[in-house]
Amino acid sequence: MKTKKVAIVGASGYSGEVLVQLLLSHPHAELVAVTSRQNAGQTLAQVFPKFASHPKSKSIRFAEPNAEVLAKQADVVFLALPHGVAAEYAVPLINAGCVVIDLSADFRLKSADIYKEFYAHDHPAPELLKKSVYGLPEIYRDQIKKALLVTSPGCYPTSILLPTIPLLKAGLIKPASIIADSLSGVSGAGRKAELDYLFVECNESVRPYGVPKHRHLSEIEEQLSLAAKTDVKIQFTPHLIPVNRGILTTLYLEPAEKLTDDKIAAVYKKSYGDEPFVRLLEGKSLPDTKNVVGTNVLELAWRLDPRTGRLVVMSAEDNLVKGASGQAVQSMNIICGFPETAGLV
């Protein structure tokens, strides 16, 4: 299988770090360049001591990001940048023939209007919104195969969309009833020197935030509306908990019809029975982030509550792997024709 050359723009955050890790050990990808304004000139080994035993960690040096140079070096370019700056690199890289996989929120919405509503400025490259493919392989595998620009989903959205889309498509739940209560590890806030994310402020603490209108809602609701074929608004409460990695989402749903465990099981089996990265739990098992951290797997379980009539669905994922960099690599595998599980566990 032909090796592809890959580069990462903005490789110094937590998602970037996991991308470096996954790509350094990928059997069919060769990491050829990493960029970072703040670390330019330093080797991978200097910035990430944990990779210092890898043979390439001393030869790969962070460069200033430059789309023209990257286009010559790489077949596939991952953008792991803060929101709002991805367009600057995506446009020239795509024009130069690179596959671009963007981990930011910049191209996740189809609608430039909703982008403006949630991000409070005009979209910098609205023409690309139509071209981008939402990089949730279990839902959009066929489109990803042919994509030039993959917009990799956010961590919260992944944990909410995978459990709900099959139910909505099958008409099993009421679209207006969706409540998503999510708990995220602190790496979800990024590697930012802010008081709120100091060890002492997060340890022995749990707190909701961004209530009631978190930015990720726009992306979640657009995808849910597509699945439900109707406009969907959901209730979403993110909480910060003192773990490094992991998201646990509990969903409260109202059945659209009389549901049984068999009916739900059938829908999930059909959707995910053969998926390597969705694990349907059986028996009494419930999701636990410690069973998925470090992997690209999303765990999923559900309970029909006979007392209330509601359906409770729970998911667990590693926010930096299935919720970010692992899923991005999964998309790369699909586009490049590699086995979808290559370089992922």
Q: Which residues are tagged catalytic?
A: 155
**Footprint (CB under 8 A) of a copy of itself, residues 118-177:** 176
With binding defined as CB under 8 A, does residue 305 bind a copy of itself? yes
- Considering only residues 1, 3, 37, 50, which one is a binding residue for a copy of itself as defined by CB under 8 A? 50
Q: Which is nearer to a copy of itself, 8 or 314 (CB)?
A: 314
**343 touches 331 (CB < 8 A):** no
Query: Min. distance of Cβ 193 from a copy of itself in angstroms?
Result: 5
In 3D, which of 208, 168, 166 has the Cα closest to residue 184? Answer: 208
Give alpha helix (H) positions in 43-154.
44-47, 67-73, 86-95, 112-119, 126-131, 137-145
**117 touches 217 (CB < 8 A):** no
**Footprint (CB under 8 A) of a copy of itself, residues 98-127:** none
Report the side by side order of strands in the sheet with 311-317. 207-208, 235-240, 179-184, 247-253, 311-317, 298-304, 278-280
Interface with a copy of itself (CB under 8 A), residue total: 74
**229 touches 171 (CB < 8 A):** no
Q: Which is nearer to a copy of itself, 204 or 262 (CB)?
A: 204
**Footprint (CB under 8 A) of a copy of itself, residues 315-334:** 316
Q: Which is nearer to a copy of itself, 65 or 246 (CB)?
A: 246
With binding defined as CB under 8 A, does residue 300 bind a copy of itself? no
Query: Min. distance of Cβ 147 from a copy of itself in angstroms?
Result: 26
With binding defined as CB under 8 A, does residue 83 bind a copy of itself? no
Please, which residues have CB within 8 angstroms of residue 304's CB and are 6 or more apart in sequence?
A: 259, 260, 261, 264, 310, 311, 312
**38-46 contacts at long range (C-beta below 8 A, 24 or more positions apart):** 38/12, 39/12, 40/64, 44/20
With binding defined as CB under 8 A, does residue 49 bind a copy of itself? yes
**Footprint (CB under 8 A) of a copy of itself, residues 196-255:** 197-209, 211-213, 233-235, 237, 239, 241-246, 248, 250, 252
Query: Min. distance of Cβ 13 from a copy of itself in angstroms?
Result: 11
Stretch that binds a copy of itself, among 80-88, 124-132, 256-264, 279-287 (CB under 8 A): 279-287
**7 touches 60 (CB < 8 A):** no
- Considering only residues 292, 300, 329, 332, which one is a binding residue for a copy of itself as defined by CB under 8 A? 292
Stretch that binds a copy of itself, among 103-111, 162-170, 283-291, 331-339 (CB under 8 A): 283-291
The CA–CA distances, whole Å, from 301 to 19, 82, 264, 286 equal 28, 33, 11, 6
